[in-house]
């Protein structure tokens, strides 16, 4: 009985230690950068039907849009306008 109690306490302590060492979350991007990148994505990948986001994009795939947004955020919202946005 005493051994079972000690193993449960050890297990609980291990779980609490693991929870304490777990990452607390991702860092947030600045609002201005997110807005700028969102507008750049909308310009680079125009919607198939204006006003209907469910219709999809006239250019590129959803993965290409996500990649472009991620690249934009990584560069701080400064994207080269001359680059081809639809190629991988």
Task: Return the closest-CA partner of residue 29 out of 75, 81, 66.
Answer: 75
- The separation between CA 11 and the C-alpha centre of its own chain, rounded to angstroms, equals 34
* The predicted structure's pLDDT at residue 87: 47
DSSP run (H or E) holding 29: none
In a domain, 65, yes or no: yes
Which residues 6+ apart lie within 8 Å of 67 measured at CB?
88
Over residues 50-87, the pLDDT tens digits come to: 888 788 888 889 899 999 999 999 999 998 765 444 44
In a domain, 4, yes or no: no
Domain total for the chain? 1
* The predicted structure's pLDDT at residue 88: 43
In a domain, 19, yes or no: no
In a domain, 16, yes or no: no
Over residues 16-26, the pLDDT tens digits come to: 777 767 666 66
In a domain, 33, yes or no: yes
Expressed as residue numbers, the domain containing 55 is: 27-74
């Amino acid at each position: 009985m005493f051994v079972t109690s000690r193993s449960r306490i050890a297990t609980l302590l291990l779980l609490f230690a693991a929870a304490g060492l777990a990452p607390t979350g991702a860092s947030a991007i600045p609002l201005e950068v997110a807005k700028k990148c969102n507008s750049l994505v909308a310009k680079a990948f125009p919607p198939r039907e204006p006003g209907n986001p469910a219709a999809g994009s006239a250019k590129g795939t959803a993965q290409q849009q996500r990649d472009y947004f991620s690249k934009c955020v990584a560069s701080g919202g400064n994207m080269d306008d001359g680059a081809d946005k639809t190629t991988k």
